[in-house]
Amino acid sequence: MSKVLKVLVCDDSILMRRKLKESIELCCDSVVIVEAKDGQMAVEMYAEHKPNLVFMDIVMPVKDGIQAVKEIKLYDAEAKVVMASSTGTQANLRKAIEAGAYEFVQKPWEQTTIENIIKKLLAERE
């Protein structure tokens, strides 16, 4: 199995994508990160790149993260999608879990939160 971790980062904020990329890169020796700016692009990029892990914002234009994760899970039931939100945590958490989210991250996140998610995923891959 490949040791390279492929991650899709989806957020409509370029600043959030950049910060998340930096957090992921601190956790991994070998990582390829692709980016999407909305849920529609995330669904398309998932099919194209087949990443090991997706970090998905919930509130975005074109297609929100909840709808996008539902579509990704239809395409790949084993998809690992981490939902991220800074608003309405309890309601969004419930929607994310119902949609099939792997994990849920509250913005702003702690570096250890990202590290723990990646460690969990890597342990499952072994």
pLDDT in tens, 45-92: 999 999 999 999 998 999 999 999 999 999 999 999 999 888 766 788
Tens-digit pLDDT profile for residues 97-107: 899 999 998 88
- Kindly report whether the global pTM for this prediction surpasses the value 0.85: yes
> Could you tell me the domains of the chain?
5-125 (3.40.50.2300)
Residue 105 C-alpha from the chain's centroid: 9
Give the C-alpha separation, 126 to 121, whole Å: 9
